[in-house]
Amino acid sequence: MKELTGKIHYRVGSEREDNLSRIIAGIEKIVNATVKYNRETGGGVLDLNEECESIYGLALIAMQNYINMICVDCFIISGKTEKSKLEGASCLTRAQGCKIPGSNYTKVELIYTLASAIKHRNELEIQCEKILWSSDSENELFAREDSYKGYTLRVLNDFNLLTPLNSASCEWEIYPVVKGMSILDTKWDLKKITKELCQWGYTAKRNANDEGLKHHQ
């Protein structure tokens, strides 16, 4: 981060990227061990979708934390000090970069949303139970209308992530993380996603630095 020449907060550096990379490397080992165990047991012991929802969810939560910290860094670098304005500024920072084709959101915004979805998975589970035990077809809308709230619900629905993996199944197994990972990367490559995210972080801090320089001129 030596290229940045504005008023830099003392915590801004490469430690966030290094920490995230170490966490992701550890989670990749868990993924590989889970896939290996599932293969060795003939694929009948684990619900691999459920396992992946949880494991990749952990990776996304780590990425969300990185995103949050980068947003704070950018807020400070740009010269802002009013805490009440942090949320709005963070939304703008997450929206920086190219939009996912066919959507109004960046990958950073999708990562942030998927992490929120797994952190509040209990809210989705309640709606899935209503769907599973009800004979009323109208209840199929519960997941898309009532499972989450506000921004999280809007983004998940815009990507159609609150529908079953197999719509023909009688079991309403809804895994937004599993479906969302394919959007982030077709091969679910956590290292690649992390590299892209860190590049976003670097660019966001560069942009904040430029804003800070203008502010102090």
The 10s digit of each residue's pLDDT in 122-158 is: 888 887 777 777 655 555 676 778 789 999 999 999 9
pLDDT for 156-192, tens place per residue?
A: 999 999 988 875 655 567 899 999 999 999 999 999 9
Instruction: Say what the pTM is.
Output: 0.88
Tokens 């506000």 -> residue: 150
**Mean pLDDT of the region 24-44:** 92
Closest CA to 96 of 190, 186, 196: 196
pLDDT tier at 6 (50, 70, 90 boundaries)?
very low
Give residue 65's pLDDT.
97
Asked whether the beta carbons of 14 and 1 are under 8 A apart, the reply is yes
Q: What is the mean pLDDT of the chain?
A: 86
Cα distance between residue 54 and residue 114, in whole Å: 11
Question: Facing residues of 106 across strands?
Answer: 99
Q: Which residues of 182-199 are buried (b: 16+ CB within 10 A; e: fewer)?
A: ebbeeeeebeebbebbbe
